[in-house]
Amino acid sequence: MGWTNYAGKNPVEYVRRYPGRTLTTHYKIRTHEDAQNISPIIGQGGYDWGALLSANMEFGGTRWVLVEQEEYPNGLTPLEAVAASKKGLDSYLEKYRTH
């Protein structure tokens, strides 16, 4: 998903275009140097993680989400950054558990 976003494409459109083909989804963000308000941490900054997760669940048939962290904003260590992304992902997943 990160490289799709980096290329200026919308990952949600790809998930919808190829239904049932994202049983396992790799989540990360690759930010452009000139990107504003986009955080590589899931749930933070201007990326619509909720729309992506929704498309994965509704159209992609996603059963597994893999989180990769290659950017560490605000002085976070790699483990702190991935822990923050997992916390963000968990908050989105919680919305699906309650519905």
The domain locations on the chain are 2-97
Whole-prediction pTM: 0.82
Q: pLDDT for 46-96, tens place per residue?
A: 788 899 999 999 999 999 999 998 889 889 999 999 999 999 999 999 887
pLDDT at 6 over 90: no
pLDDT of residue 35: 62
The C-alpha atoms of residue 14 and residue 66 are separated, in whole angstroms, by 18
What average pLDDT score do residues 6-14 get?
89
